[in-house]
Structures are given as structure tokens and as C-alpha cells.
Amino acid sequence: MYPNFSSPRGLALIINNRYFVSMPERLGTDIDEVNLNRLFHQLGYVVLVHRNLCSREILHCIKNFANRPEHAAVDSCMISVLTHGEDGELFGTDEIGVSVLEFVSLLNARNCPSLAHKPKIFFLQACRGRCYDRGFDASQDQIDGFFENFFACTTSQAKLKSPIEADILISYATTPGYVSWRNSLKGSWFIQSICEVFAKNARRLDILSMLTMVNKRVAEAYESSSGSYKQIPDHSSRLRRSFYFFPGLCHPRSL
């Protein structure tokens, strides 16, 4: 289990792109920003918000975030990007794509040593293509059995190296190739679900368990008004331990 008791827990960065050169305005994204801001504060993070950044500014923003001295005194960090996208890219307001791989790598252990061994959590609310998930008719899931596997892992007392790209979790609003959905009055399905599930369960569940609940909520609670389309989030975890937010429990540190 990762230690996550510093006060504050860490810094939380929100990049919110609403307006673009020719792409549609992202109505409802400001609601996502407000909801995430509130959630991150409740979880113990200092929140930094940047709005309507072009591609160059997005990279400049994450580089500056990686270089902040506060990271040395905290236990984790959160990054959320709300924008248009394609598979593997996040669009700036200039409609030029920023590589997700490059964006995330700027917080790896080589580029941001003050966050080495600490969880870095990314929430990416953006389309990953132009396909529409039409869903399928299905009865309620059937449980065929219950299996438990126990694994024992022993290591030597010698100092171990860690992978540079470890301790990162990337949570995507949708699967590769597909669009993600947003309600102009309530915000995106993905961010709505994260805020609701985390607010209710962060005291007792680890983040991967909560993201599984987010998957279920997005898949079952929402359907587009145009075409009855569906959506399922997608998560890529490089975490090496369980990660809990432990809201309310802290060992204060000075930033």
C-alpha cells in the first residue's frame, strides 16, 4: 500500500479546454471542472486550474507542474485534462494534438524525480476516436463462480531498481477509437461518475476498486439521447501497490 498521509496529499492539476478554433465548444466542461475541483479539495489536494491552453501551452503547463518544489514534501499527485482528443492525443485550443505518451512521461521518475515512487493519477476526459458504441441487449450478469488466488512475493534485502514509468495510473473516459459523451448541463458521464463514486467510497476503497465502480456506473446509468449510444471507461495502471486516498487522515507537512 502506498503511503498517502501528507497534508496536503499533493497538487492536483486541472486543464480545462472549452473553446477551440473550429471544433465545437465543449459545453458542460466547466461543470466537470467545478466538480473535480471540489472532489480534489475534499480528498486533500491543492488544486491548480488552467483554462483554454493551446498545444504548446499544455506541454509548458505540465513541465512547470513537474518542476514544482512542493512535490518533494507530498505523497501523490492528480492530473485531469478536459479537452477534445483522438486516440493517443489531447487537443489544444489550436487543434494541434499533444501526445498522451509524451504528456504522461513528463511526470515519470526521470523527468520528475521528486515524484519518484509516488502515485501519479491521470484522468483524461477526451474522445479517443470517432466510433460510436451502440451497446447490445443483455440480461443481468450471471456469476458463475468465485475464485481466490494468493500470491507470495519475496525480495532480497538488496536495494532494488524501479522502472522509470512506474507508479502511474491513466484513467481514460472511453476506450481506444471511441467517442466520449458529455451532458451540457451536468458535465461528462465519466467525470460525473468519478466524482460520485469517489465521494462516496474514498474512505474505504482503493482507487482501482473505485474505477471498476465507475466503469459500471458509466456503462449502466447513461445512454445518449441521440442514437442510444453507450460508453465504457478504460484504465491503464502501472501502480505497484494499492492506492487509497485516506481522506481526513494526515501527517501535516509544510509546502
Catalogue the active-site residues.
Answer: 84, 127
Question: In this structure, are residues 118 and 167 in contact, taking their beta carbons and an 8 Å threshold?
Answer: yes
Percent composition of the chain: helix, strand, coil (DSSP 3-state, to 5)? 25, 20, 50
- Classify residue 113 as left (phi > 0), alpha (psi -120 to 50) or beta: alpha
Question: In this structure, are residues 254 and 73 in contact, taking their beta carbons and an 8 Å threshold?
Answer: yes
Q: Residue 33 has which C-alpha cell?
A: 471542472
**Which residues are within 8 A (CB) of 128 and not within 5 positions of it... i.e. 6 or more apart?**
85, 86, 87, 88, 172, 173, 174, 175, 176, 177, 178, 179, 180, 234
Question: In this structure, are residues 86 and 128 in contact, taking their beta carbons and an 8 Å threshold?
Answer: yes
Q: Which of 18, 30, 21, 178 is nearest to 84 (CA)?
A: 18
For residue 3, whether the previous peptide bond is cis, meaning omega lies within 30 degrees of 0, is no
| Amino acid identity, position 175 | T
Question: In this structure, are residues 76 and 246 in contact, taking their beta carbons and an 8 Å threshold?
Answer: no
